[in-house]
Chain A
Amino acid sequence: MQNPEVAMLQKKELNPCYIHSTFPPATFLTTLIQQEHFKEYIANEFPSLNLCPPLPASTMNRELLRKEVNATTANALLNAITSQVGTTEWVSKAIFPDKFLPVVFNDTCLDNVPECWDKSRQRFSNLPETMGEQAIQEWLNHLVHTLGV
């Protein structure tokens, strides 16, 4: 005669609400910090740890979430106080000071190269009129190359 409790459990198992989803096995990476306490677990889960094997990768698809979160953050940032505004001189003096450059950037170098700088109009002589990617790429590389010579 079957135990009525067992019979009830078996009945419940057949009920879909008791059929749980199966997740991938958990990987407790933090156990590696305390190897002396988790020797067996580490030996089972990371048998060749010393060989630096690739550990199981996350199966979670975070692409869509990241895209949405970052787009929202970027939008919020445009009006946020975290966006601080400086001058172009601040960039030249504080971000890229001459001591960080292989040679000191000398304004007169540009001033004396007519193919780069129009002295009379005080502007670049060959700055593309259309902001096309190709034209700007060539102009930037030409400018850099000229300044590097």
Chain B
Amino acid sequence: MAQPLGTHPRSLIKEKELEELLNSYDDEDIGVDRVDSSTEKKGFTIAGAEDHSFSIVSHKKAPSGGYHLRKLDIILINRNLRHFLKDGNRRPRWHQVKAIVEVSVSAPCKSMLQQIFEKAALMFESQPFRWFAIGLALRGTTATEFSFVLVNQGGVCRTNWAHISGYDAFNLAHIVFALSYTKPEFLSVDTSMTVDLLSGNVTKIKVKDQEFNVIKHVYSSLILFGRGTHVFLVQDKDGKSHILKDA
């Protein structure tokens, strides 16, 4: 256990001592993951991979930026954002949510799927750059089962409820691995749109070889399903204005 800084008179601390002191601090004190297992201590070996993390930060505080407040059991967000939010005093924003995980001991399957659909609608409303929303539902006690859900404006694809054992468990591990490390475009982010990381606003849209500056996101659909769910007022390089809509 690290000693509090105050117990070290400033005059006695030299570089080496300070290094040891800082390194001795508990991980949580400096806002990084607690390393519980020997495997985790080894760190990452996948170069250039995305780094997402599962977080319960929105379990008690609903994300902001959606058309109404909905708490999420677990969300997939950038790992550095998770560290930033882990003190519990801040809330994430909907545009930062990359996937939804619903967990329950005994909730009916239908109810859990409905939760995912409704939260997917919030993702679509706040993330015009998203092609589809990904949900993972886990339920049960001793015989745990899971279902993977894909929602887009055309409908829903999902897996049957599968027990978390045997071959299906390997597939679950594959899904969790992919969610954590795969590139944004494979998690349904439209790369033809440039998104401001801080605000989540779409700033540029590329259509074939033309790039447009977004002046205003003028329309976001009322409903979860359908076409033309997002409409933008944009300007081309010559200053002419156009309307762009998704289709």
- Shortest Cβ distance from B53 into chain A, in angstroms? 6
- Shortest Cβ distance from B86 into chain A, in angstroms? 11
**How distant is the Cα of A87 from the Cα of B48 in the complex, in angstroms?**
30
Q: Known contacts being A130-B141, A137-B74, is A35 close to B224, with CB within 8 Å?
A: no
In the complex the two chains form, is B170's CB within 8 Å of A107's CB?
Answer: yes
Question: Total interface residues on A, using CB and 8 Å?
Answer: 69
In the complex the two chains form, is B54's CB within 8 Å of A92's CB?
Answer: no
- A14 proximal to B (CB < 8 A): no
A83 partner residues in chain B, CB cutoff 8 A: 155-158
In the complex the two chains form, is A142's CB within 8 Å of B177's CB?
Answer: no
In the complex the two chains form, is B216's CB within 8 Å of A131's CB?
Answer: no
User: Of the 9-residue stretches A4-12, A16-24, A97-105, which lies at the interface with chain B?
Assistant: A97-105
CB-contacts of A75-132 with B (<8 A)? 75, 77-78, 80, 82-92, 95-96, 100-103, 105, 107, 110, 113, 115, 121-124, 127, 129-132
- Majority secondary structure, B binding face: mixed
**How distant is the Cα of A102 from the Cα of B49 in the complex, in angstroms?**
6
A86 partner residues in chain B, CB cutoff 8 A: 157-160
Q: Known contacts being A70-B223, A77-B156, A145-B39, is A88 close to B162, with CB within 8 Å?
A: yes
Q: Known contacts being A101-B178, A102-B181, is A133 close to B165, with CB within 8 Å?
A: no
Query: Binary interface profile of B, 31-51, with partner A (CB < 8 Å = 1, else 0)?
Result: 001001111101111111110
Question: Which residue on A lies nearest to B233, using beta carbons?
Answer: A29
In the complex the two chains form, is B170's CB within 8 Å of A148's CB?
Answer: no
**How distant is the Cα of A130 from the Cα of B105 in the complex, in angstroms?**
7
Question: Which residue on B lies nearest to A86, using beta carbons?
Answer: B159
- Shortest Cβ distance from B144 into chain A, in angstroms? 6
- Shortest Cβ distance from B111 into chain A, in angstroms? 9
CB-contacts of B139-155 with A (<8 A)? 139-142, 144, 148, 150, 154-155
